[in-house]
Amino acid sequence: MATTPGRALGSLLPTLLLGLTAGQPFISLTGPSQRTSPGDSVPFNCTAGPFNSQNFSRDFNVTWLKDSDEHPASAQRLVPDNGGNDFITSKAWVTLTRQDVSSEITCKVTHRALADPLKTTMNLSQVLRVVPTLKITTEPSGTHVHVQDRVNLTCHVLHFYPTHLRLTWMENRRMIQTLVSPQVTRNPDGTYSLEHTWQAEATLEEREFACWVVHDEQPPLKTNVALQARLHRQGKGQSVQPYKLQGPLQRSEPGTRIRLTYTSSGFSTHQVTVTWLKNKHELPNPQTSVQYSGHTYNVTSSVLVLLTDDDVFSHVVCHVEHKLMRFFQKTIGLDQYLRVPPTVTVSQSSTSSSLVAATCLVQRFYPQNVHLAWLEDCHTLKGTEQPTLKKNDDGSYTLENLLLVNASVQGPERVLTCMVEHEGQPPKRANLILSTAAHTAYKPIGSTGPEMPALIFVVFLLGLKVLLVMSFTVTYICRRWNL
Ligand SMILES: *[C@@H]1O[C@H](CO)[C@@H](O)[C@H](O)[C@H]1NC(C)=O
Ligand SMILES: *[C@@H]1O[C@H](CO)[C@@H](O)[C@H](O)[C@H]1NC(C)=O
Ligand SMILES: *[C@@H]1O[C@H](CO)[C@@H](O)[C@H](O)[C@H]1NC(C)=O
Ligand SMILES: *[C@@H]1O[C@H](CO)[C@@H](O)[C@H](O)[C@H]1NC(C)=O
Ligand SMILES: *[C@@H]1O[C@H](CO)[C@@H](O)[C@H](O)[C@H]1NC(C)=O
Ligand SMILES: *[C@@H]1O[C@H](CO)[C@@H](O)[C@H](O)[C@H]1NC(C)=O
Ligand SMILES: *[C@@H]1O[C@H](CO)[C@@H](O)[C@H](O)[C@H]1NC(C)=O
């Protein structure tokens, strides 16, 4: 986070300059390493020094200011270093609000040895995340829409910070458009808003339009509307039948039975039969009821459909006969109700002695919207390449993402995690222990004596155990951190 060096101290007291290890005092201010939402309390640390211990230790004041108001400090102490100098540290907790996008926090240290106080300031916008609110408006509005009218659906994304987001339009859970970082307007309070319009043609069939927003790499937000044209009366009293063909509102995994329902009204007799077919095979046990209502009949029919892994291209036909004549037939793609979760694996290969290529393979998922992130010690690694997406023959998707890691950066064993989020489900993780040693261990296998492979095998088993323990630990720690 922001570190502002203290201003040059021209008029220090001579003793401070005489102190051999006491360099020019500086001041630094750090905040939380991740953005936080309004309502959360976050710590800021201020450190100033070095100051000569003997002379000035107890002769200082630290003041915190939020904008121009004094803000209470929660802890203040002196930390001695080895060279007889002290550093002053102070901590302040700030409860963030939405208005803090344009606020700043200042730490000011006065010390007898200083002519002017040391002072540093940080913008609270650096640590703040304001999650947008979403809504969709329709123009013309719902009650005045007729068949084939063009309707403007506008997704309003209101009051967010920072600006980066992705907006996706879905029609019956199928993606129709995605925008990365669409144009925003700035609000007087420093937050941003945007609106984006999708034009759709109204039909008698009810359709769901949804606007999804992924803001600042957070879990997606969603809002939706149903669009259906009003019954359009025509000349000689004959009317177009309004109907609803509905499935579940959430996608389901293979193995789940989903219910599809057809409802319609205005039939002149009760001689109505409804047949359901999945991929040309009749579905068993549909439940159909015909109810008298005024001078006409209402029909409701529903059926259970078992979703399978390979249903991306499957469809269900709803066939309605009235007085033994075909009256209505509609085909529904099952892909809009299906969610096939991915399997995630990570592997490593070495490209040179210091660079290691880690590959995250995300296999056989549907629909195609996934979000992939690499973490090391629970910190997101920035600047990774764009993943490559491939469509499989069965309609599912596979995604591969390569990460180049400098393995010569020393340290405790490094664990890379590939985290994949799919359709708002809890993220799936796969871990990899970076090991340059692994390559050198594998190399000599061919040329070593007979007992060597056994030894390597034992080492390998031990390594596997460590890997298991490590991956549990990482998952646990990351969960604790809510990553
Ligand atoms: C502030 O300092 C404390 C120790 O004094 C440390 O545990 C904490 O991580 C620091 N926080 C930040 C935001 O630097
Ligand atoms: C700093 O400390 C030394 C030794 O304790 C003392 O002789 C000197 O007078 C002190 N200087 C000031 C400005 O207090
Ligand atoms: C610190 O504050 C106290 C009380 O406000 C004041 O008496 C003292 O002179 C201040 N010390 C310095 C070094 O500014
Ligand atoms: C802090 O905010 C001000 C405007 O409010 C801006 O001019 C300045 O560049 C910001 N500083 C940083 C470090 O972002
Ligand atoms: C829909 O949006 C387009 C382009 O923004 C505009 O020209 C049109 O008048 C709008 N239609 C309605 C009904 O508001
Ligand atoms: C029949 O359908 C119409 C239109 O959807 C509805 O207003 C009415 O209440 C229904 N009647 C019965 C008995 O369900
Ligand atoms: C990898 O890191 C080492 C040590 O930090 C550095 O010397 C080297 O230049 C880095 N290599 C690459 C390719 O970035």
From first to last of its 483 residues, the chain has per-residue pLDDT tens of: 333 333 333 333 333 333 334 568 899 999 998 899 999 999 999 999 888 766 555 678 899 999 999 999 887 888 888 777 888 899 999 999 988 999 999 999 988 778 889 999 999 999 999 999 999 999 887 667 887 789 999 999 999 999 999 999 999 888 899 999 899 999 999 999 999 999 999 888 888 899 999 998 888 899 999 888 876 444 333 444 678 888 998 899 999 999 999 999 888 889 999 999 999 999 999 999 999 988 889 999 999 999 998 899 999 999 999 888 877 888 999 999 999 999 999 998 876 667 888 899 999 999 988 889 999 877 888 767 778 899 999 999 999 999 888 877 766 678 899 999 998 888 999 998 876 554 433 332 223 333 344 444 444 444 445 444 444 444 444 444 444
CA 12 to chain centre: 51
Q: Is residue 9 part of a domain?
A: no
What pLDDT sits at residue 348? Answer: 87
Range(s) of the domain holding residue 45: 14-127
DSSP 92-160: EEEE--GGGGG-EEEEEEEETT-SS-EEEEEEGGGGB-B--EEEEEEES-GGG--TT-EEEEEEEEEEE
Residues 66 and 143 in one domain: no
Q: Is residue 8 part of a domain?
A: no
Q: Is residue 469 part of a domain?
A: yes
What token pair was written down for 273?
């039969």
Q: Which amino acid is at 413?
A: E
Q: Is residue 336 part of a domain?
A: no
Residues 116 and 149 in one domain: no
CA-nearest residue, atom 12 of ligand 4? 123
Whether the CB of 15 sits within 6 Å of ligand 2:
yes
123 Cα: distance to centroid of ligand 4 (angstroms): 6
What pLDDT sits at residue 480? Answer: 45
Residues 152 and 255 in one domain: no
Nearest CA among 137, 179, 188, 197 for reference residue 159: 188
Residues 180 and 262 in one domain: no
Atom of ligand 1 nearest to the CA of 44: 13
Residues 367 and 248 in one domain: no
Q: Is residue 329 part of a domain?
A: no
What pLDDT sits at residue 350? Answer: 72
- Using the 3D structure, point to which of 66, 97, 127 is the last residue of a domain: 127
What pLDDT sits at residue 456? Answer: 44
CA-nearest residue, atom 4 of ligand 6? 265
Residues 376 and 420 in one domain: yes
Atom of ligand 3 nearest to the CA of 59: 13
Residues whose CB falls within 8 Å of the CB of residue 221, separated by 6 or more in sequence, listed in order:
131, 132, 134, 212, 213, 214, 215
Q: Is residue 184 part of a domain?
A: yes
Which-ligand-closest: CA of 100? Answer: 4
pTM for this model (two decimals): 0.60
CA-nearest residue, atom 13 of ligand 6? 293
Residues 273 and 301 in one domain: yes
What token pair was written down for 201?
């043609």
What pLDDT sits at residue 49? Answer: 84
Whether the CB of 228 sits within 6 Å of ligand 6:
no
- Which of 102, 123, 126 gets mutated to test ligand 4 (max ligand atoms within 8 A of its CB)? 123
Residues 351 and 412 in one domain: yes
Nearest CA among 349, 405, 355 for reference residue 375: 405
CA-nearest residue, atom 10 of ligand 4? 123
What pLDDT sits at residue 447? Answer: 31
Q: How far apart are CA 79 and CA 64, in angstroms?
A: 19
152 Cα: distance to centroid of ligand 5 (angstroms): 6
- Using the 3D structure, point to which of 191, 210, 234 is the last residue of a domain: 234
CA-nearest residue, atom 3 of ligand 2? 55
Cβ-contact 118, 203 below 8 angstroms? no
Residues 184 and 195 in one domain: yes
CA 354 to chain centre: 32
Which-ligand-closest: CA of 154? Answer: 5
Domain containing 202 — which CATH number? Answer: 2.60.40.10
- Using the 3D structure, point to which of 65, 92, 127 is the last residue of a domain: 127
Atom of ligand 5 nearest to the CA of 140: 13
Whether the CB of 279 sits within 6 Å of ligand 6:
no
Residues 119 and 191 in one domain: no
What token pair was written down for 247?
């499935």
CA-nearest residue, atom 3 of ligand 6? 265
Which-ligand-closest: CA of 267? Answer: 6
Residues 114 and 138 in one domain: no
456 Cα: distance to centroid of ligand 7 (angstroms): 29
Q: How far apart are CA 304 and CA 260, in angstroms?
A: 7
With H, G, I as helix, E, B as strand and everything else as coil, classify residue 302: strand
Exposure b/e, 109-127, CB count within 10 A at least 16 = b: bbbebbeebbbbebbbbeb
Q: Is residue 4 part of a domain?
A: no
Residues 371 and 423 in one domain: yes
Which residues does ligand 3 sit against, CB inside 6 Å?
A: 59-61, 110-112
Q: Is residue 7 part of a domain?
A: no
Looking at the structure of the chain, the number of domains it has is 4
